[in-house]
Amino acid sequence: MKKYSPEGFYEAKIQVRPNNPELLAFVKKEIEKNEVDLIDENILKEGIDLYINSANFAVRLGKLFRNKYKIKPKVSKMLTGENKQIGKRIYKLTVLLKIN
């Protein structure tokens, strides 16, 4: 399932807070079901960060999370560069899935 890219490129980061096995299983099941590549997984003290190759899927996952748990996820983006040939800005998306 894990697919490491040599340059570490990812489009979106999904933050699972706190380290909840039920929530993590839900997220991984959706990733597998939608055939999204899991680039990397980082285990932290406060939770787990999952790096994936699809920003569109990360937004859809946030909506699924909101429908299932009735908690609004936090979505943010960070400017990481610009494609000079077409003048398009490049962003990386972060989706925080937090159960209180």
pLDDT at 100: 78
What is the tens place of the pLDDT at every residue in 5-14?
445 688 999 9
| Structural domain boundaries enclosing 47 | 12-98
Number of independent structural domains in the chain: 1
Q: Is the pLDDT of residue 4 over 60?
A: no
Cα separation, 95 vs 69, whole angstroms = 15
pLDDT, tens only, 15-52? 999 988 999 999 999 999 999 999 999 999 999 999 99
Residue 4 lies in a domain: no
Question: Does some domain include residue 64?
Answer: yes
Q: Specify the pairing of strand 12-17 against strand 38-43.
A: unpaired
Please indicate, yes or no, if residue 56 is contained in any of the structural domains.
yes
Q: What is the mean pLDDT of the chain?
A: 89
Residue 42 lies in a domain: yes
20 part of a folded domain: yes
> For residue 32, what is the enclosing H or E element?
helix 21-33
* pTM score of the predicted model: 0.84
